[in-house]
Structure 1
Amino acid sequence: MWSVTRAAAVVTVLTAVSTLLGFARDVVIAAVFGAGAALDAYFVAQGLMNVVLGLVAGAMAKAAVPVTAREARDEDGRCRPHRSFDVALSVTLIVLGLGSLVMWIAVTPVLAALAPGFEGEQAELARQLTRVVLAATVLIAGTNLLAGLVQAHGRFGWSGFQGVPFNLVMIGSAAIFGPQYGVIALAWGFVAGSATRLLLQLIPVHQLGIRLRPSLRLDDPGFREIARLVPALLVGSAVGNVNTLVDRAVGSTLAEGTISALGYAWRLVSLGETLLVASLLTALYPALGAYATDRARMRKLVDQGLAVTAVCLTPLCVILVCAAEPLVTTVFGHGGFSDDDAALAAKAMVFYAPALLALGWRELVVRASYAVGDTTRPVAVAVVAMVVNVVGDLTLGLRYGITGLAASTTLSLLLAAAANTWLLRHRHDGVSLRPATFLLLRSMALAVIAAGAGLAVRVLLTPHAVIESACVAVTVCAVYGAGLLVTKAPEGRLLLDTVKRLRGRVRQAA
């Protein structure tokens, strides 16, 4: 158990470092390129690469992990040949290589469908960028598969660290070469960064003495098992990609910079979920699987997790709404990022903000469903939510622009969180609906009060982005925390207990 705890702590720290570096990367990109037509073209090109990558590589990497882990060592503890993995790696690289080549050739009609609003120089730039970033498809696929192979042997640090050199390369590409060569430097930086990630995974493979050999033995039993797992995972990978592609397709028909502004706003929103929820609930997720057969214990764990999620993310949602423009200006408002760019991104962030709570809530209930062996229903919900997002993009997005696109994403995530919670309760008795309902009602009531206090502070302050952001954040958190104490809400005490336990685990691991 000590080694598992230590591995969890190491992965959590490395993931946090990588996430913060990724955030710094976006700040540098905003300073160099702002939120204009060129960066819109880059995001569309990257989205096309993700279609090729996400639909095959992600699903294959996830499917290969359990088979590889089971076959990692023989009875004497020695590393065995990974014949099934060799086949999976060979097939994936061949399929993705051919897919990338097809996309490279057919880039013009494909981009016409994915970015119908691009014309002239912007369309030509998008074609150039797409052909560059497609080179990274095979590199990223190989990285993901090798990371899973290494994890099957109990090595987790290397996969957690791989984002660090990638983000450093991207930051260097944007800061050093971006001003001279434009956004094309960002595309080549993406390829170079992907190559560093792959090279990094080769180090533990060599240390473990694993010998990889090309193989196309499609009748291998282990590979057949991997192939059977791929379809369900394929759907899950496709859902997020389709949403992003439709968002950007509609965004390409709106004002220049819409796609980039959506990306900056979402980066700020998702940062809280990535850092807070992933860190605070690290100790909870493994326990869900351990108590999957004891529904009373599991239900208690889920209820506690939802309480921690609500008390952490609700005040953050309020801060994102009340201080949207000063926050965007504080973080991204440097260099080429103009006041108009900040105003556009802030509009999106206001409508994205409720999605922060929905993200954390949904992640917890979906993992609980996975813990009891239910993978089909969360995927079905994800497909329905995708349809809601697409319909919203084509209606609200076209009617209201960037705010409609952001609202469509939020509505789809709220639906997914609610539907997955309902299914977990009625299919598996894995969550208590009555306490969860009162939890949300308390959170919304306190959020309204805290929002009023935050907006009042903004009115009283002299306009200054950093001061406004800090004062609104302190005020909202103070009012929300005081509300928890006054109402004697159980989630307030639970949060303190969770933080203490997590701190103790980190100290023990150190």
Structure 2
Amino acid sequence: MPSEESEVTSDADARDATSSIANSSIVKNLRIVSLCTLLSRLLGLGRDIAMASLFGAGTVLDVFIVAFRLPNLTRQLFGEGALTTAFLPVYLREQTERGSAAARATLTAVAVALASFLSLLVLTGEAAIFWALMNGNFSSSTVLLLQLLAIMLPYMVFICSAALLSAALHALRIFLWPALVPVVLNVLWLTGVGVALLLTEDEQTQVRLVAGAIVAAGVVQCLLPFFVLQRLNMGLTRNWRSGWPRVHEVIMTMLPVVAGISVVQFNAILDSLMAWGLAAPDGGGLAPLQAFGIPALLPAGTATTLYIGQRMYQFPLGVFGIALGTVLYPLLTQHAQKGELGLLRDDLCKGIRLTIAIALPSSAGLFVLAEPLTNLLFRHGQFTAEDSSLTAQMIATYGAGVWTAIGLTVLNRAFYATGDRVTPMKFGVVALLINFLLNILFVVPFQGVGLALGSICATTLQLAITTWKMNAQLGPFDWALVLRTLWKTVVATTLMVLVCLAILKNLSGGEQVATYALQLLIPFVGSVLCYWLSARWLGMSEIDDIFLRAKKT
């Protein structure tokens, strides 16, 4: 008979082997999702540059950004966020316990319920907008806002359906095609900008054409995962009524997640609404909130510069943070369903270490390179030097908080995987209230930058209490390993920043595009090279995990 010691050793070896396989799977799929997300973000950057060049930081682009927030919020709530989080564990369980037919029935039933609910929501919204336009007496910017909302509301149905179908592919461990869905939006968005530029010179007509292109993109985004699932014989089915009981389960599961994610998104919406409402329109006139006795505190275009700042900090967040959360979530969910808390902690600890190794230098890089980045990408066309200066301040402020956003993304997925959907909601509400108070406190002394600063401070506090709660709920992590990664990352990042500042100090000035390019690319390449060499010198295995191909075992 094997001894008790040999059995324990065997169990430990099995766990180590399982953890090694899981880590390899995490890194492999992370590369796939990150590369596709990088492509999408680069195209998204191109679309933002095109929009800023075409419209400048003025009222038209401010209005468009606020109008796009609503369908985009619905995508994040009912699509990629709450619904995906609630649906994936149920779909996995049906697939494992009852087979493919039950999983397909569940997918179809949830898709029918989602499309029906969102279609009703869109029709109600369109009717309300039509009534308001017919009976209201609004400023020209408010009329344009309502018109753009009317055009883009149907996008909600298509993109949320695409997110649901993509979640089914994630459950099947297929990450490539879902990761290409955002690429479709950016390609057609850019196409819309080009068509608008060719067809008319009227800014309001141009922005309506861009809004129409977004809706067309939503249709294509929905069709892409639909056809992939159909090809795998795992798509929608006519025999879906047996999956209807699962719809109620998904709805009840997603409600607290909706509340939690909505808090995060309302932070961004709150910032945008305050930036729009407190800014006087181009060419004079009253700021939207002046009708309520609140003075115009911000210049026109603040909402645009705030949006660009958010987009720049979402670049590393999307390429790495959301990609890592997407890959980790199915794995953590499986561990939780099997009661494998040890493996769950191991994989989450791996995710935290990867987050530290990438997020800290990303934050530092955005902060230091905010001005040359803005000058190269946006300082042309209708985008003025003043617009660029404010945008650079926004990017630097948001950039300083990249690490908090990525950390929250990873930790909240762990809560959802274990079935705890209330904790992220509670901490999110706290962060929302703090953000609102800080916005009021900071907007007068710091103007638009104060809105970004309030968000970063609130998110940092949210990350701190979330980490404390996670450690208490799942049991102690290997904090020695995490702290070892942290101090090495801090040292490597500090060296990187010093090299970057030294390069920037010795570069000549100028206002030509070539000069802007050199002012960004030379310190960027030098910083990346310095960080990589420093990380290798310090023995940071996380860098090899991310950028080098995994060794075959």
Give the total of aligned pairs.
494
2:382 matches 1:336: yes
SS class of match (2:300): coil
SS class of match (2:540): helix
C-alpha spacing 1:359/1:96, structure 2 compared with 1 (3 Å): same
Overall identity of the aligned pairs, in %: 24
Q: Partner of 2:82 in structure 1? A: 59
C-alpha spacing 1:255/1:56, structure 2 compared with 1 (3 Å): same
Q: Partner of 2:313 in structure 1? A: 269
Q: Which stretch shows the higher mean deviation, 436-445 or 413-422?
A: 436-445
- Distance in 1 (CA, whole Å) between partners of 2:90 and 2:57 is 44
C-alpha spacing 1:17/1:452, structure 2 compared with 1 (3 Å): closer
Q: Deviations over 1:22-70 (max 9, x none)?
A: 2332232233223221111111111123455554455334433333344
Cα RMSD, aligned residues only: 3.8
- Distance in 2 (CA, whole Å) between partners of 1:475 and 1:157 is 31
Displacement, 1:235? Answer: 1.2
SS class of match (1:466): helix
- Distance in 1 (CA, whole Å) between partners of 2:327 and 2:105 is 34
Letter paired with 2:519: E
Displacement, 1:199? Answer: 2.4
CA contact (8 A) 1:50 1:241 kept: no
Q: Partner of 1:170 in structure 2? A: 189
Displacement, 1:226? Answer: 1.7
Q: Partner of 1:91 in structure 2? A: 113
CA contact (8 A) 1:60 1:92 kept: no
- Distance in 2 (CA, whole Å) between partners of 1:260 and 1:296 is 46
What are the equivalent positions in structure 2 for 1:226-245 lying under 5 Å apart? 226-245=250-269
For residue 467 of structure 2, the aligned residue among 421, 427, 432 is: 421
Q: Partner of 1:145 in structure 2? A: 164
Structure 1 spans left out of the alignment, 5+ residues: 112-117
- Distance in 1 (CA, whole Å) between partners of 2:358 and 2:30 is 21
Displacement, 1:279? Answer: 6.5
Structure 2 spans left out of the alignment, 5+ residues: 1-20, 279-297, 510-514
- Distance in 2 (CA, whole Å) between partners of 1:59 and 1:482 is 40
C-alpha spacing 1:418/1:434, structure 2 compared with 1 (3 Å): farther
Q: Which stretch shows the higher mean deviation, 123-132 or 136-145?
A: 136-145
Q: Partner of 2:91 in structure 1? A: 68
2:514 matches 1:468: no
Displacement, 1:344? Answer: 1.5
Letter paired with 1:466: A
What are the equivalent positions in structure 2 for 1:118-137 lying under 5 Å apart? 120-137=139-156
Q: Which stretch shows the higher mean deviation, 321-330 or 79-88?
A: 79-88
What are the equivalent positions in structure 2 for 1:400-479 lying under 5 Å apart? 400-432=446-478, 450-463=496-509, 464-477=515-528
Letter paired with 2:219: A
Letter paired with 1:468: Q
C-alpha spacing 1:433/1:397, structure 2 compared with 1 (3 Å): farther
Displacement, 1:440? Answer: 5.3
Q: Which stretch shows the higher mean deviation, 45-54 or 191-200?
A: 45-54
Displacement, 1:191? Answer: 0.5
Displacement, 1:8? Answer: 6.1
Letter paired with 1:207: R
For residue 376 of structure 1, the aligned residue among 408, 413, 422 is: 422
Displacement, 1:342? Answer: 1.6
- Distance in 1 (CA, whole Å) between partners of 2:531 and 2:31 is 29
- Distance in 2 (CA, whole Å) between partners of 1:497 and 1:385 is 35
2:224 matches 1:200: yes
- Distance in 2 (CA, whole Å) between partners of 1:456 and 1:499 is 28
- Distance in 2 (CA, whole Å) between partners of 1:308 and 1:55 is 26
Q: Deviations over 1:84-139 (max 9, x none)?
A: 4444333322322222233233349999xxxxxx9722222111111100121222
CA contact (8 A) 2:321 2:407 kept: no
Displacement, 1:221? Answer: 2.3
CA contact (8 A) 1:56 1:96 kept: no
C-alpha spacing 1:234/1:332, structure 2 compared with 1 (3 Å): same
For residue 34 of structure 1, the aligned residue among 35, 52, 56 is: 56
Displacement, 1:411? Answer: 1.0
2:37 matches 1:18: no
- Distance in 1 (CA, whole Å) between partners of 2:29 and 2:350 is 23
Displacement, 1:410? Answer: 0.9
- Distance in 1 (CA, whole Å) between partners of 2:374 and 2:132 is 33
C-alpha spacing 1:410/1:198, structure 2 compared with 1 (3 Å): same
C-alpha spacing 1:477/1:137, structure 2 compared with 1 (3 Å): closer
Q: Partner of 1:184 in structure 2? A: 208
Letter paired with 1:191: V
Q: Partner of 1:224 in structure 2? A: 248
Task: Give the TM-score taking structure 1 as reference length.
Answer: 0.82
Q: Partner of 1:43 in structure 2? A: 65
Q: Deviations over 1:307-327 (max 9, x none)?
A: 443333323322222221111
Displacement, 1:446? Answer: 6.3
For residue 498 of structure 1, the aligned residue among 531, 539, 545 is: 545
CA contact (8 A) 2:333 2:417 kept: yes
Q: Deviations over 1:365-413 (max 9, x none)?
A: 3344445554332332222222222222233235422211111111122
Q: Partner of 2:274 in structure 1? A: 250
Task: Give the TM-score taking structure 2 as reference length.
Answer: 0.77
SS class of match (1:503): coil
